[in-house]
Amino acid sequence: MEKPTAIKVNNRYQITLPREICQQLGIEPGDELLVDRQGDTIVLLPKPKNPVDYLAGLHKEVWQNIDPQEYLRQEQAAW
Domain extents in the chain: 19-78
Model confidence at 75, pLDDT cuts 50, 70, 90, reads: very high
Please work out, in degrees rounded to the nearest 5, the angle formed at the alpha carbon of residue 59 by the alpha carbons of 52 and 42: 75
CA dist 47 and 13 (Å) reads: 20
Residues 6+ apart with CB under 8 A from 8: 15
5-22: per-residue pLDDT in tens?
899 999 999 999 999 999
- Global pTM value: 0.56
Burial class of residue 53 in the structure, from the number of CB atoms within 10 Å of its CB (0-12 exposed, 13-18 middle, 19+ buried) = exposed
60-69: per-residue pLDDT in tens?
787 788 888 9
Mean pLDDT of the residues in the chain: 89
Q: Which amino acid is at 65?
A: N
